[in-house]
Amino acid sequence: MSKTILKFEYEKETKNSVRYQEVPEEGKAPVMGTIYVQKWFAGSTKNIELTIDKKD
């Protein structure tokens, strides 16, 4: 099992969601790239973190 924390920063708003762009660690490729979070949850948050826990 391995746990990875991905960091995202605000990119733009769409009709019902907020688009965030991944900020990859230096020298590494993005894992997810772009994600969309519903506005009701994201609110005015400019930075979010997403934890992925791989279970083998």
User: In a structure prediction context, what are the per-residue pLDDT tens digits for the chain, which is 56 residues long?
Assistant: 689 999 999 999 999 999 999 999 999 999 999 999 999 999 999 999 999 999 87
CB 25 within 8 A of CB 51: no
Structure confidence at residue 55 (pLDDT): 87
With left for phi above 0 and alpha for psi between -120 and 50, is residue 12 left, alpha or beta?
beta
Could you tell me the end-to-end alpha-carbon distance of the chain, in angstroms, rounded to an integer?
6
Judge if pTM exceeds 0.85.
yes
Q: Which structure tokens are listed for 13?
A: 């708003």
Q: How far is CA 56 from CA 4, 6, 26, 29, 33, in A?
A: 14, 19, 26, 22, 23
